[in-house]
Structure 1
Amino acid sequence: MGALFDAIKTALGAILVFFYDVFSGLGEGAGVGLAIIGLTILISLALFPLTLKQTRATRAFQEIQPQVRKLQAEFKDNPEELQKRLIALQREAGATPGGCLLPMLIQMPIWLALFQLLRDPLVYISRDTGFGQALSNGETTFLGMHISQSPAEAAAGGIGGAIPYLIIIVFMVATQYIQQWHATAGQPRPEGAAGATNQAITKIFPLMFGFISWNLPVGLIVYWATANLFRLGQQALIYKIDGRPTAPQVEEEEKKAPEKKTTGEVKKQQQGSAAKRRRRRRRN
């Protein structure tokens, strides 16, 4: 496992060296920051097929919820049969759990490897490279931030020096909220206790990321913020291709059904009342 992480860190270091050489002519600090941004975009492009699969699997889960509720009501006393029916329904709709989780599972070792790489970059980046020389000379600032320094370390030297770090944390959290808003705009709010819990977790999750970021290298925060923005663009592209998710039609029909039944009952009551009045008139 350690050898695998070392290989990932070495590969990430080589990509950073490449992008630094491409952008270093733009200025001392620009090369370092743009190298991280270039790395982020490259990884996001490589993972786009999985991101597309994740988005479609999530949409499929939303669309089959009315059928899921019907099955739960129909087989509430037979959990084994319910599980079989749910698995078959998910397969038929393409709503496989792996499709939702795979991109995140793949990115986790990348995040961990990048964290360790930024903590001690010269272990994996040769001093003979342009990036290695910049690291050796301390030329690792981007927008007033040292890529290997955490916001907590910057704040220890005075609040003034920590301001750029605080801004990038706020920006990263804001991009996560914007991405969430774009993903759920126009969709009905989930109902029930489970829906309320999921909604609360969704709202708290970006704040947790912001809190955790306080002790992480700022280069990793730049990576997350860039990934959020790029994912937002990918999301917009997917919605343009597939259309924006809407409330399931089955659910709308279920909501209309009670209204039709109630109207029919009212008509029957009205007809019964009229018949009673006619009988009374005949007696009189």
Structure 2
Amino acid sequence: MELLGIVWNEVIIRPMVNVLMIFYYFFAMNMGWSIIIFTLLMKIVMIPLTLKQGRQMKAMAAVQPKILQLQERYKDDKAKVQQETLKMYRQSGVNPVGCLGPMILQMPIFIGLFWALRGLLAKTPEGLVKLSDLVYASIPYANFVVPVDSQFFWMDLGKIASQNTLPFLMPVLVGVSTWLMQKMSTTPVTTPQSASTNRMMLWMMPIMFGYFTLNFETGLALYWVMSNIAGIIIQGFITGWKPLYSVLQILRITKFTDSEEKIESHNNEFIDDEELQSDEKTTNRDRGEEYRRSRRDRSKRTGRGETRRRNKRNS
């Protein structure tokens, strides 16, 4: 176990610490930009694996109709379905596990970066001593960059997200970007059980990572957000943007529905105003007619009175 810890420290953590320190020195002493550049380089290095994942996803999508036919043909024999499905995968050169390659590879990087950032952003004397043990002696400018400035815009990358300014911003960004990444990289399924599992993972992973971000260093959250954004872009160029288009279409429909409701509400208000104005006009017209009628009646009565008075004088 101790040997495993030494290997982990020498193979994962120390290289990450020193690479980040080099980036920090050459990019304006800014750890935020160092993490972003490190993330983009890691995504570029993993492009061959991502390409392989994209080919596997396309191949799996191509054999889905045949697998559905197998399931219908052998619906009473599950063992036969599994046997024929594996046989078809082999014939088509499909490896279902290959679709998980980049995600599996990211986990050691994520865990290693967690410890690397904790070492790099140390502020206490004990932490700085540990950091000096992690830095390679061949890096001559290490003394000029320690201790590392952890400020990046309004965020302190060394603090956990819940203790930072705008504490829920990074967890929300992690959750949303993880959901979009899951949506872009979800593999095709052939059974209702698999579809149910995919739907559960689509929501469980973003919620889980978003919640964990509250208790992780903000620098780690920045890495995860940038990794997801870069992954979405790369995945879009490899396998297409159809999943993202479907999300945008849903948002557009929702927005359009809201707009329709607002327009309908406005039209109803306008109709109500017109009806009210019409009622007022009708009322005013009726009052005018009544006034003119009373004037005519008064005039008639006045005329009859004048006629009677003239008749009396003449008689």
Shared fold, TM over 0.5: yes
Q: 2:15 aligns with which of 6, 11, 22?
A: 11
Q: 1:22 aligns with which of 7, 20, 26?
A: 26
Q: Per-residue CA shift, 1:40-84, capped at 9, x if unaligned?
A: 111111111111111221232233222222212323444444333
- Is the 8 Å Cα contact of residues 134 and 140 (structure 1) preserved in structure 2? no
Q: 2:158 aligns with which of 148, 151, 158?
A: 148
**Which residue does the alignment assign to 2:113?**
114
2:189 aligned with 1:179, yes or no? no
Amino acid in structure 1 at the alignment position of 2:195: G
Gaps of 5+ in 2: 121-130, 244-315
**Which residue does the alignment assign to 2:38?**
39
Amino acid in structure 2 at the alignment position of 1:207: I
- Is the 8 Å Cα contact of residues 190 and 196 (structure 1) preserved in structure 2? no
Aligned partners of 2:142, 2:51: CA distance in 1, in Å?
34
Stretches (4+) displaced over 6 A = 187-191
Matches within 5 A, 1:28-107: 28=29, 31-107=30-106
Tell me by how many angstroms 1:135 deviates. Answer: 4.3
- Is the 8 Å Cα contact of residues 173 and 206 (structure 1) preserved in structure 2? yes
Q: Per-residue CA shift, 1:101-151, capped at 9, x if unaligned?
A: 222222211111111111223252369765664442x52111222222212
Tell me by how many angstroms 1:8 deviates. Answer: 0.8
- Is the 8 Å Cα contact of residues 126 and 132 (structure 1) preserved in structure 2? no
Q: 1:189 to 1:109 in 2, by over 3 A?
A: closer
Amino acid in structure 1 at the alignment position of 2:27: F
Tell me by how many angstroms 1:32 deviates. Answer: 0.7
State percent identity of aligned pairs: 28
Aligned partners of 1:167, 1:132: CA distance in 2, in Å?
34
SS class of match (2:168): helix
**Which residue does the alignment assign to 1:221?**
221
- Is the 8 Å Cα contact of residues 35 and 222 (structure 2) preserved in structure 1? yes
Tell me by how many angstroms 1:172 deviates. Answer: 2.3
Amino acid in structure 1 at the alignment position of 2:158: S
Aligned partners of 2:53, 2:155: CA distance in 1, in Å?
34
C-alpha root-mean-square deviation of aligned residues, in Å?
3.0
Q: 1:238 to 1:132 in 2, by over 3 A?
A: farther
Q: 1:98 to 1:74 in 2, by over 3 A?
A: same
- Is the 8 Å Cα contact of residues 9 and 114 (structure 1) preserved in structure 2? yes
- Is the 8 Å Cα contact of residues 17 and 130 (structure 1) preserved in structure 2? no
Aligned partners of 2:218, 2:25: CA distance in 1, in Å?
21
Q: TM-score, normalised by structure 1?
A: 0.69
Which protein shows a greater Rg?
2
Count of matched residue positions in the alignment of Structure 1 and Structure 2: 227
- Is the 8 Å Cα contact of residues 150 and 216 (structure 1) preserved in structure 2? yes
Aligned partners of 1:194, 1:98: CA distance in 2, in Å?
14
Aligned partners of 1:92, 1:147: CA distance in 2, in Å?
49
Tell me by how many angstroms 1:221 deviates. Answer: 0.7
**Which residue does the alignment assign to 1:162?**
165
Amino acid in structure 2 at the alignment position of 1:150: I
- Is the 8 Å Cα contact of residues 64 and 189 (structure 2) preserved in structure 1? no
**Which residue does the alignment assign to 1:275?**
none
